[in-house]
Chains A and B, each alone.
Chain A
């Protein structure tokens, strides 16, 4: 059965063991796919210390720029670092406003039957924030707008059975 892409939140971030991870959040009519786009090794740079550490860390960062218009969701879901969560596996989703950053918390059941949690920060892309600031909005308002946009994306994509498990932010 064909899987239809509904929408993309271009940037969400999570904290990894070696530094921040940046994902593209693709939502289809069947699942939510966190596509790993940037894996930073900033923590290694911190251990090494100084400018040299920073240079080495940034040199070992791995960035993948995805053409989501062309990309097949099935392939994106199997890419290294990707996390794919079928809508029927969703146990709980929460949009949580925060002081530093708004968060998206997802609790889901894996194919092995285990329950897993994932938490990402809804950090808007720089261009998005610049655009909002040009409209006279503050940074925090831009962050709130972005969370609303992401919420609307899920409202459109999730079936009713999954939508009922979402704790929306007002």
Chain B
């Protein structure tokens, strides 16, 4: 592979990765997924989510099998208590066959989202869908993405310059016989 092609491929991949990272840092796209709570009172479904300082978490869920669930958003300390003694002190909660919460975090950090069996449904497998969206900018990730994107663009541009140079710089064996002053067709008489 020629140098310019390698640079352009690497630069293109870097720019794409940088763009994806920057978009994820800017939290521009909501995510949608499924959850499942196995049968049994000791089982629940947990997932972690990062909220940047001043960011806002919006979650809505819908149970597709097993009717009612309890949904909580815990800080790490609250989650620890929940694991140890079932304490359900949380920063946001909802219950039922469907629900939605909005939680704004001033300090930011990683939170735990828990789906647990609703009252009377501990012995059934419960399934559902959940949509979550974090509004807020994860500055380090966004900046990292932008830097990688810019580096990728710079590499691609440099590859283009090299390509242009490779076009005009020919191997020595292609050197034409030099028999004197050469005139170009595009040359026009100068304006006076």
Residues of A that sit less than 8 Å from B by CB: 4-11, 28-29, 63-72, 75-76, 79, 124-128, 131, 146, 149-150, 152-153, 156-161
- Whether A7 and B188, one on each chain, are in contact in the complex, defined by CB atoms closer than 8 angstroms, is no
Chain B residue contacts of A75, Cβ below 8 A: 164-165, 168
Chain B residue contacts of A159, Cβ below 8 A: 190-192
Across the interface, A146 reaches (CB within 8 A) one of B164, B180, B186, namely: B180
CB contacts between A and B, total, < 8 Å = 95
Binds A, one of B91-99, B139-147, B170-178: B170-178
Chain A residue contacts of B165, Cβ below 8 A: 75, 79
- Minimum distance in angstroms from B161 CB to a CB of chain A: 8
Assess whether B187 is interfacial by the CB under 8 Å rule. yes
Chain B residue contacts of A68, Cβ below 8 A: 168, 182, 184
Across the interface, B181 reaches (CB within 8 A) one of A71, A149, A158, namely: A149
- Whether A7 and B168, one on each chain, are in contact in the complex, defined by CB atoms closer than 8 angstroms, is no
- Whether A157 and B168, one on each chain, are in contact in the complex, defined by CB atoms closer than 8 angstroms, is no
- Minimum distance in angstroms from B15 CB to a CB of chain A: 24
Chain B residue contacts of A69, Cβ below 8 A: 184
Chain A residue contacts of B33, Cβ below 8 A: none
- Whether A64 and B169, one on each chain, are in contact in the complex, defined by CB atoms closer than 8 angstroms, is yes
Q: How distant is the Cα of A150 from the Cα of B183 in the complex, in angstroms?
A: 11
Assess whether B179 is interfacial by the CB under 8 Å rule. yes
- Minimum distance in angstroms from A60 CB to a CB of chain B: 16
- Whether B184 and A67, one on each chain, are in contact in the complex, defined by CB atoms closer than 8 angstroms, is no
- Whether A63 and B172, one on each chain, are in contact in the complex, defined by CB atoms closer than 8 angstroms, is yes
Listed by A's residue number, 6 A-B pairs whose Cβ atoms lie within 8 Å are A29-B191, A65-B170, A70-B168, A127-B178, A156-B190, A157-B190
Known: A4-B188, A157-B190. A67 touches B168 (CB 8 A): yes
- Whether B168 and A131, one on each chain, are in contact in the complex, defined by CB atoms closer than 8 angstroms, is no
- Whether B190 and A29, one on each chain, are in contact in the complex, defined by CB atoms closer than 8 angstroms, is yes
Known: A4-B187, A65-B175, A159-B191. A149 touches B180 (CB 8 A): yes
Across the interface, A125 reaches (CB within 8 A) one of B169, B179, B184, namely: B179
Q: How distant is the Cα of A79 from the Cα of B165 in the complex, in angstroms?
A: 9
Assess whether B167 is interfacial by the CB under 8 Å rule. yes
Chain B residue contacts of A72, Cβ below 8 A: 164, 168
Chain A residue contacts of B183, Cβ below 8 A: 6-7, 153, 156
